[in-house]
Amino acid sequence: MTVSDQTAQVPRTPKKLLVAALIASSIEWYDFFIYATAAALVFGHLFFPDASPLIGVLLSFATFWAGFIARPIGGLVFGHLGDKIGRKPAVVICLIMMGSATFLIGVLPGASSIGVLAPILLVTLRFLQGIAVGGQWGGIVLLLTENAGGGRRGMAGTFGQMGVPLGVILGNVAFLVAGAVLSPEAFQAWGWRIPFLASAALAPVVLFIQLKIEDTPVFRELQQRKEEQDAQVVRAPLMQVLRSSKRTVLLGAGLLFATNSVFYISISGLLDYGTRELGMPRQSLLAVTLVSSVVGVFVIYFAGVLSDRWGRRPLILVGAGLLAVWAFPFFWLVDTASIAGVAIAATVGSIGSSLTYGPVAAYLSELFAPRVRYSGASLAYQLAAILVSGGTPFIMTALLAATGTSASVSAYLLLMGLCTLASTLLLRETSPARTATARPREAVAEA
DSSP letter for each residue of 22-46: HHHHHHHHHHHHHHHHHIIIIIHHH
pLDDT exceeds cutoff 90 at 55: no
Distance CA 319, CA 355 (A): 5
Q: How confident is the model at residue 421 (pLDDT cuts 50, 70, 90)?
A: very high
DSSP label at residue 200: G
Q: Largest alpha-carbon pair distance within the chain?
A: 66
| Radius of gyration, alpha carbons of the chain | 21
Mean pLDDT score, 259-285 = 86
Which residue range(s) make up the domain with 47? 15-446
The answer to whether residues 340 and 40 touch, using CB atoms and an 8 Å cutoff, is no
Residue 1 counted as domain residue: no
Query: For residue range 403-417, what is the model confidence (pLDDT) as tens digits?
Result: 989 999 999 999 999
Q: Say if residues 383 and 256 touch (Cβ distance below 8 Å).
A: no
pLDDT digits (tens, 9 = 90+) for 382-391: 888 888 877 7
Residue 331 clears pLDDT 80, i.e. is over it: yes
**Quick check: 409 and 331 in contact, CB under 8 A?**
yes
**CA 381 – CA 361 distance, rounded (Å):** 9
Read off the CATH number of the domain in which 121 is found. Answer: 1.20.1250.20
pTM of the model: 0.79
- Rounded CA separation 174/198 (Å): 9
* Total structural domains within the chain: 1
Amino acid at residue number 179: G
**Inside any domain, residue 3:** no
Q: Which are the contacts of 153, defined by CB distance < 8 A and separation ≥ 6?
A: 145, 308, 361, 362, 365, 366
The CA distance from 292 to 100, in Å, is 29
| Nearest alpha carbon to residue 19 among 29, 27, 31 | 27
Mean pLDDT for the chain overall: 82
Q: How confident is the model at residue 150 (pLDDT cuts 50, 70, 90)?
A: low
User: What pLDDT is attached to residue 397?
Assistant: 84
Q: For residue 185, is it within any domain? A: yes
**3-class secondary-structure state, position 177:** helix
Which residue type is seen at 318?
V
C-alpha 249: how far from chain center: 17
Residues 6+ apart with CB under 8 A from 237: 79, 80, 83, 84, 371, 372, 374, 375, 376
Query: Does 7 reside within a domain?
Result: no
- Tell me: the pLDDT tens digits for 336-356? 999 999 999 999 999 999 999
Q: The dihedral of CA 391, 197, 31, 347: what is its sign?
A: negative
Query: Is residue 220 situated within a structural domain?
Result: yes
HSE (CB half, 13 Å, CA atoms) of 297?
15
- What pLDDT is stored for residue 7 in this prediction? 43
Cα separation, 82 vs 141, whole angstroms: 12
Q: Put residue 338 in one of left, alpha, beta given phi > 0 → left and psi -120 to 50 → alpha.
A: beta
**Is 249 among the domain residues?**
yes
- For residue 254, the model assigns a pLDDT of 95
Tell whether 68 is covered by a domain: yes
Share of the chain above pLDDT 90, in %: 26
Summarised one tens digit per residue, pLDDT across range 19-45 is 888 888 888 888 877 887 787 778 877
- Report which of residues 224 and 232 the model is more confident about: 224
Q: Tell me, what's the pLDDT at 360?
A: 92
| Predicted local distance difference test score (pLDDT) of residue 252 | 93
pLDDT at 444 over 50: no
Reduced to 3 DSSP states, what percent helix, strand and coil does the chain have, rounded to the nearest 5? Answer: 80, 0, 20
State the average pLDDT over residues 386-399.
Answer: 83
Give me the mean pLDDT over the 274-283 stretch: 86
Cβ–Cβ < 8 Å for 234, 324: no
> What's the CA gap between 306 and 298, in Å, rounded?
12
For residue range 171-190, what is the model confidence (pLDDT) as tens digits?
Answer: 888 888 888 888 888 888 88
